[in-house]
Amino acid sequence: MKVTRVFTHHEYPRFAAEEGFSSDLISIGFVYDEKISINGDRVDIKNAIRDRHPTLSEYMIGNAAGHFVRFRDGISVGDILIAYEGENIVSGVGVVQGPCVYNDSNPLGDPNGDFGYPNQRAVSWENNPRFFSRWKLKSDLSYWVGLPGTVYIKKGYRIKRLNEIFI
C-alpha cells in the first residue's frame, strides 16, 4: 500500500474532514467539469484551471494540475490516506475504497455549498485516532505530512498495515 496525504480544505479544514468522515469520502476541487475531471489530459486540466482562475501564474496552474492528477490517477484502491487539516493536525486516516468520481450533488461537492469539492474518492476511515498531532506519526511521515500543497504520495514508502504509520 502507498501512503498519500490530502489536505482537507483551504478554508474549512475541520468541517470538511467531519463531512468526509460522515460520508466516507475525501474530496478536492481544482476541476469543475465532469468530463475533464474524469477523462481530461493534463492540458485539458490546466486549461480548466486557467479558465476558472485567470490570474494564476503558469507555475501555480501547473502545480494545481499536478495535485489534481495525483488525486485522480496516482492513488489506488487499498492505499492509506492521511487527511491533513494543517496547523500540525491530522484529521484522520483511512483506506481508499474507490476511484475518483465527480459528484457535485452532495455536501462536499455542491458548488453552492461550503466546500465545492466535487472530485471525490470513497475512503474507509478509522474511527480512532481522529484530530491528532502529526508528530504521532513515524518521523519520516510526520515531516512529510506537513508539506504545503494538497495531494502528495509518499514515493517509495510501502506498508502492509495501517497501524505501521504510527510511532
Q: What is the pLDDT of residues 52-97, one digit of tens each?
A: 999 999 999 999 999 999 999 999 999 999 999 999 999 999 999 9
This prediction has a pTM of 0.95
Res 26 pLDDT > 90: yes
Residues 2 and 160: their CA atoms lie apart, in Å, by 9
Say if residues 93 and 81 touch (Cβ distance below 8 Å): yes
Fold adopted by 2-165: ph1033 like fold (3.10.590)
**Read out DSSP for 81-148?**
EEEEEETTEEEEEEEE-S--EE--SSTTT-TTSS----EEEEEEE-SSS-SEEGGGB-HHHHHHHTSS
Q: ∠ at Cα 137 (134, 142), nearest 5°?
A: 60
Q: Quick one: what percent of the chain has pLDDT higher than 90?
A: 91
Residue partners of 74: CB distance under 8 A and separation at least 6: 4, 151, 153
- The mean pLDDT value for 96-119 works out to 97
- Domains of the chain, by residue range, sit at 2-165
Report the pLDDT value the prediction gives residue 103, as an integer from 0 to 100. Answer: 98
Report the pLDDT value the prediction gives residue 1, as an integer from 0 to 100. Answer: 85
Q: What is the largest CA-CA distance in the chain?
A: 44
